[in-house]
């Protein structure tokens, strides 16, 4: 291969094939850098010694596909290239075969590229020739192998489930496939194999996994793909901790592929804790900034009586941050869901805050004391004003939730602006005890926070009808450095509970039967307790390769608006196809 030759090969006869990376014509000598995915070798063609090969060498251009037969020579000391692994040798071409020609590519095939992503995607087959893309694809392959190996060791079996099926709700729209044989009927592409993996448990498979494509028709989301890959996992007779251990072991093996030894066991945080302290259910734990919900001190109660919910965050050693930086942070805070932002700084000279003018220095001091602020601290404050509206009770009130959301966004923004995110470091955590439902303010109804097959916690069962907002689920997420990389739950395995959950979601018995009748039936034939998880494989490989964009680790990705720029999909189809399907375009 083009990246393999070393000094030890000097004198050997070799045959190399690959793409012409670069050609330099010095008249009597032509140098060709020959490339394949393993690297590059310099080939020399001499007019004097090998006239036929030299003639061919004059014709080749970048990206021509050539074969070279020749001999490995040691380079003289002054021509050694220490930058490349093959830099101590070159191949003298005795024969040169032009296997195929190439047009001049629209961009150079090299790692450092400023080429627009659109162009890269349109000519993805050329983009994939870049060594970095080759490395990513190969890392992805090794990651898939590690998954298969690890899960097989733990007695999971890989089972394929259908792509043409009925819709399973995972919170997005379905991609539909019209039936030609039964006009007016449609298959849905699976948003996940959720029901099938549960049916496999009922079918006695007991430990299942699949590296599987899932399809979700979501509106524009910058870093989502309409089709993406999950490592989908399910086990019967599950213990949450046993499952966590299997998954942590898998993470350990995956990160070892990147030469990283991760720390185990991963910490657990409840959803409420994560929301309160980090304002996010996927907290970035690489840095320690934490919010605290605060009570308004008596001294400030009169002035701050408008607030329903307040949070404060200490940023130690940042009291020196300039006024203008804080003004800009304030501008940012205005774009969040909070109603109010303020701050104070604690220094040897006392407390400085624009808030003093509003609520008085005494009240600011009381606030600072309540928070436990220390000299050197910058303290950020966020608030939500009282509103007249009331929604059904949830584990956190709707004001709390708005405050959580804003505090999470502001925490990340402050960390970014003040450069508090350390480079490197992998901080995994399990987020547990999610609420079972979330209240949709627009639709005025409850939705499943994970999905409707997730089991409520045993002790909350009685609240399913009376106080659904307060029911906790046996659901969990795996988060890493601020990304959710997996999510799952212990499932409902009793039909009566499944029916109650459908009902809590506003489905009538008839609606539930029409959509999930087959599944409700199955639950009645001896369903073992079961649970599982799905891991975001694209995201994991992206993180492993130090990429923030999952398109970089997918061979043929689509744009954020779900377009394949290379094949130009989606595309129109001819009217005969539509006729056969009984479809007319409105």
CB of 533 to ligand ASP, least distance (A): 5
Of residues 534 and 562, the one with the C-beta less far from ligand ASP: 534
List 32's β-bridge partners, or say none: 23, 43
Decide if 298 contacts 362 (C-beta within 8 A): no
Helix (H) or strand (E) holding 362: helix 361-371
CB of 191 to ligand ASP, least distance (A): 7
Tell which positions 89-128 bind ligand ASP, by CB under 6 A. none
CB of 194 to ligand ASP, least distance (A): 4
DSSP designation for 454: B
Segment lying near ligand ASP (by CB under 6 A), choices 43-51, 351-359, 429-437, 526-534: 526-534
Q: Which is nearer to ligand ASP, 283 or 488 (CB)?
A: 488
Give the torsion sign (CA, 132, 133, 137, 138): negative
Neighbours of 187 (CB within 10 A): 17
State which residue, 313 or 478, has the beta carbon closest to ligand ASP. Answer: 478
Instruction: Please report how close the Cβ of residue 170 comes to ligand ASP at its closest, in angstroms.
Output: 5
Q: Which of 379, 436, 533, 544 binds ligand ASP (CB under 6 A)?
A: 533
- Closest CB 232 distance from ligand ASP, rounded Å: 7
Which residues lie below 8 Å from residue 162, measured CB to CB, with a gap of 6+?
Answer: 190, 196
C-beta of 319 vs 554, nearer to ligand ASP: 554
CB of 188 to ligand ASP, least distance (A): 14
Q: Is 534 in the site for ligand ASP (CB under 6 A)?
A: yes
Q: C-beta of 474: minimal distance to ligand ASP in Å?
A: 11
x/- mask, ligand ASP, residues 467-506, rule CB under 6 A, reads --------------------xxx-----------------
Ordered DSSP codes for 466-496 = H-GGG-BBSEEEEEETTEEEEEEEEBP--HH
If binding means CB under 6 A, how many residues of this protein chain bind ligand ASP?
A: 9
Residue with tokens 């602006």: 417
Q: Does 170 bind ligand ASP (CB under 6 A)?
A: yes
- By DSSP bridging, strand 207-215 and strand 157-158 are parallel
What strand order describes the sheet that includes 340-347? 291-294, 307-315, 378-385, 340-347, 350-352
Q: Which CB, 192 or 229, lies closer to ligand ASP?
A: 192
Q: Which is nearer to ligand ASP, 174 or 377 (CB)?
A: 174
Q: Which one, 70 or 488, has the nearer CB to ligand ASP? A: 488
Give the C-alpha separation, 493 to 46, whole Å.
76
Peptide bond into 570 cis (omega under 30): yes
Q: How far is the CB of 187 from ligand ASP (least distance, A)?
A: 19
Pairing of strands 378-385, 340-347: antiparallel
User: Which residue in 42, 62, 161, 192 binds ligand ASP (CB under 6 A)?
Assistant: 192
Residues 199/161, Cβ–Cβ less than 8 Å: no
Q: For residues 161 and 309, which CB has a smaller minimum distance to ligand ASP in the complex?
A: 161
Give yes or no for a contact between 505 and 457, defined as CB atoms under 8 angstroms apart: no
Among 18, 39, 532, 557, binds ligand ASP (CB under 6 A): 532
Does 190 bind ligand ASP (CB under 6 A)? Our answer is no
| DSSP class per residue in 156-209 | -EE----SSB----SSSBPPEEE-SSSTT-EEE--S-SHHHHHHHHHTT--EEE
Site string for ligand ASP, 17-56 (x = CB under 6 A): ----------------------------------------
Partner residues linked to 270 by β-bridges? 432
Residue labelled with tokens 């490339």? 35
Residue 497 half-sphere exposure toward CB, CA atoms < 13 A: 19
- C-alpha–C-alpha distance, residues 432 and 474, integer Å: 7
Window of 46-54, 173-181, 370-378, 532-540 that interacts with ligand ASP by CB under 6 A: 532-540
Query: What whole-number distance in Å separates Cα of residue 48 and Cα of residue 44?
Result: 12
As measured in angstroms, the least distance from the Cβ of 242 to ligand ASP is: 15
Helix (H, G, I), strand (E, B) or coil at 81: coil
Distance, in Å, from the CA atom of 174 to the CA atom of 166, rounded to the nearest integer, reads: 9
**Least distance (Å) between residue 554 CB and ligand ASP:** 18
Please list, in sequence order, all residues whose beta carbon lies within 8 angstroms of the beta carbon of residue 346, skipping any fewer than 6 positions away.
319, 368, 373, 374, 375, 376, 377, 379
The residue (of 71 and 438) whose beta carbon lies closer to ligand ASP is 438
Report residue 278 CA to chain centroid gap.
19
Residue nearer to ligand ASP on the CB measure, 439 or 537? 537
In the complex with ligand ASP, the residue whose CB is nearer, 309 or 489, is 489
State the binding string over 250-279 for ligand ASP (x if CB under 6 A, else -).
------------------------------
| Cross-strand pairs, 268 | 430
Nearer to ligand ASP (CB atom), residue 171 or residue 582: 171
* Minimum distance of ligand ASP from residue 171's CB (angstroms): 9
What is residue 220's DSSP assignment? -
Sole binder of ligand ASP in the list 62, 194, 407, 545 (CB under 6 A): 194
For residues 280 and 489, which CB has a smaller minimum distance to ligand ASP in the complex?
Answer: 489
Residues paired with residue 88 on neighbouring β-strands, in sequence order: none
Question: Closest CB to ligand ASP among 93 and 492?
Answer: 492
Range in contact with ligand ASP (rule: CB under 6 A) among 14-22, 113-121, 144-152, 530-538: 530-538
Piece of the chain touching ligand ASP by CB under 6 A; list 56-64, 83-91, 350-358, 528-536: 528-536
**By C-beta, is 194 or 336 nearer to ligand ASP?**
194
Q: Least distance from C-beta 532 to ligand ASP, angstroms?
A: 4
Query: What angle in degrees, to the nearest 10, is found between the helix axes of 240-256 and 131-153?
Result: 150
Determine the straight-line distance between the first and last CA of the chain, rounded to whole angstroms: 55
557, 128 Cβ separation under 8 angstroms: no
CB 192, min distance to ligand ASP, A: 3
Using CB under 6 A, list all residues that contact ligand ASP. Answer: 170, 192, 194, 487-489, 532-534
């Amino acid at each position: 291969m083009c990246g393999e030759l070393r000094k030890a090969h000097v004198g050997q006869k070799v045959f190399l094939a690959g793409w012409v990376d670069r050609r330099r014509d010095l008249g009597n000598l032509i140098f060709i850098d020959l490339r394949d995915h393993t690297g590059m070798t310099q080939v020399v063609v001499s007019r004097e010694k090998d006239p036929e090969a030299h003639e061919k060498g004059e014709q080749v251009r970048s990206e021509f596909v050539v074969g070279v037969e020749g001999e490995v020579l040691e380079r003289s000391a002054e021509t050694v290239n220490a930058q490349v692994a093959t830099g101590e040798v070159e191949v003298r071409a005795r024969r040169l075969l032009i296997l195929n020609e190439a047009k001049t590519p629209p961009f150079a095939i090299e790692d450092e590229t400023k080429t627009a992503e659109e162009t890269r995607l349109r000519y993805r087959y050329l983009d994939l020739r870049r060594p970095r893309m080759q490395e990513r694809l190969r890392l992805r392959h090794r990651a898939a192998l590690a998954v298969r190996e690890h899960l097989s060791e733990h007695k999971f079996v890989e089972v394929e489930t259908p792509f043409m099926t009925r819709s399973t709700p995972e919170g997005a729209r379905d991609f539909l496939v019209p039936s030609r044989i039964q006009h007016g009927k449609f298959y849905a592409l699976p948003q996940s194999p959720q029901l099938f993996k549960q049916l496999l448990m009922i079918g006695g498979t007991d430990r299942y996994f699949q590296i599987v494509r899932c399809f979700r028709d979501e509106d524009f989301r910058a870093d989502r793909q309409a089709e993406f890959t999950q490592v989908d996992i399910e086990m019967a007779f599950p213990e949450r901790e046993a499952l966590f251990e299997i998954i942590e072991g898998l993470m350990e093996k995956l990160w070892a592929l990147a030469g990283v030894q991760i720390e185990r066991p991963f910490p657990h945080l409840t959803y409420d804790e994560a929301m309160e302290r980090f304002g996010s259910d996927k907290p970035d734990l690489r840095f320690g900034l934490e919010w605290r919900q605060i009570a308004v001190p008596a001294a400030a109660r009169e002035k701050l009586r408008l607030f329903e919910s307040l949070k404060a965050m200490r940023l130690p050693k940042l009291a020196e941050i300039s006024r203008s930086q804080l003004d800009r942070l304030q501008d940012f805070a205005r774009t969040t869901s909070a109603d109010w932002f303020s701050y104070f700084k604690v220094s040897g000279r006392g407390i400085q805050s624009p808030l003093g003018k509003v609520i008085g220095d005494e009240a600011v001091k009381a606030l600072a004391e309540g928070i436990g602020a220390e000299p050197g601290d910058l303290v950020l404050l966020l608030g939500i004003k009282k509103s007249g509206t009331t929604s059904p009770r949830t584990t956190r009130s709707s004001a709390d939730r708005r405050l959580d959301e804003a505090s999470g966004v502001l925490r990340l923004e402050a960390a970014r602006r003040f450069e508090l995110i350390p480079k490197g470091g992998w901080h995994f955590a399990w987020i547990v005890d999610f609420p079972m439902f979330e209240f949709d303010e627009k639709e005025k109804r409850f939705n499943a926070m994970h999905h409707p097959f997730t089991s409520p916690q045993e002790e909350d069962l009685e609240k399913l009808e009376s106080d659904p907002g307060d029911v906790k689920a046996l659901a969990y997420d795996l988060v890493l450095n601020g990304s959710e990389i997996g999510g799952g739950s212990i499932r409902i395995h009793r039909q009566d509970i499944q029916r109650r959950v459908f009902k809590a979601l506003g489905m009538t018995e008839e609606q539930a039967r029409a959509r999930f009748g087959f599944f409700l039936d199955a639950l009645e034939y001896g369903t073992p307790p079961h649970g599982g998880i799905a891991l975001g494989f694209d995201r994991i490989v992206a993180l492993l390769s130090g990429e923030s964009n999952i398109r970089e680790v997918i061979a043929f990705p689509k744009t954020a608006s779900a377009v394949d720029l290379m094949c130009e999909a989606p595309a129109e189809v001819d009217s005969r196809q539509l006729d056969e399907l009984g479809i007319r375009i409105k």
